[in-house]
Amino acid sequence: MSFGQSIKHVFSNYATFQGRASRSEFWWWYLFTAIVSLILFIPAIPWYNEYVSASLNQIGDATQVLPAPSGLAILGLVLSTIFSLAVLVPTIAVAVRRLHDTDRSGWWLLLWLLCCFGIGAIILIILWILPSTPGPNRFGEGPAIAI
């Protein structure tokens, strides 16, 4: 599945949690969301760097004022947030379908909440990397186009 096909397929199955998603569909979608999020966040990067630097320097000084975001930084933050909220449901849906493709329940996605040293995220990434179950499994036929 190509980059464009993947994005089109995920958006056309916006809230479909049933079925299966190939590795290519899943990883192209994540690349797309990462690129768009970064592009939308670019105007806020200078302010963010100042904010983090001031926050780190403020540890012993409670009177220091943190920098206020500029109008451009606010625009970047708002656009990035709106995009993230807009793709939240399809991102969860394609992640669940990818787990289905490895013959695992979508409930495995709750591992993301296991935040102790990022162990849940590491386990999920490993599961998403695993190859598809050949042929049909309990979640349906295999994806039409897989890698």
pLDDT digits (tens, 9 = 90+) for 13-34: 999 899 899 999 999 999 999 9
How crowded is the C-beta side of 69, counted as CA atoms within 13 Å?
Answer: 14
User: Facing residues of 140 across strands?
Assistant: 137
For residue 57, pLDDT beyond 80: no
pLDDT tens digit sequence for 78-114: 999 999 999 999 999 999 999 999 989 989 898 887 7
Crossing angle for the helix pair 23-41 and 88-101, nearest 10 degrees?
Answer: 160
Q: Is 137 helix (H, G, I), strand (E, B) or coil?
A: strand
- Cα of first residue to Cα of last residue in the chain, in angstroms, is 8
For residue 117, pLDDT beyond 50: yes
pLDDT over 70, % of the chain: 90
- DSSP for 49-74? HHHHHHHHHTTT-TTPPPPPPPHHHH
Calpha distance 4→78 (Å, rounded): 26
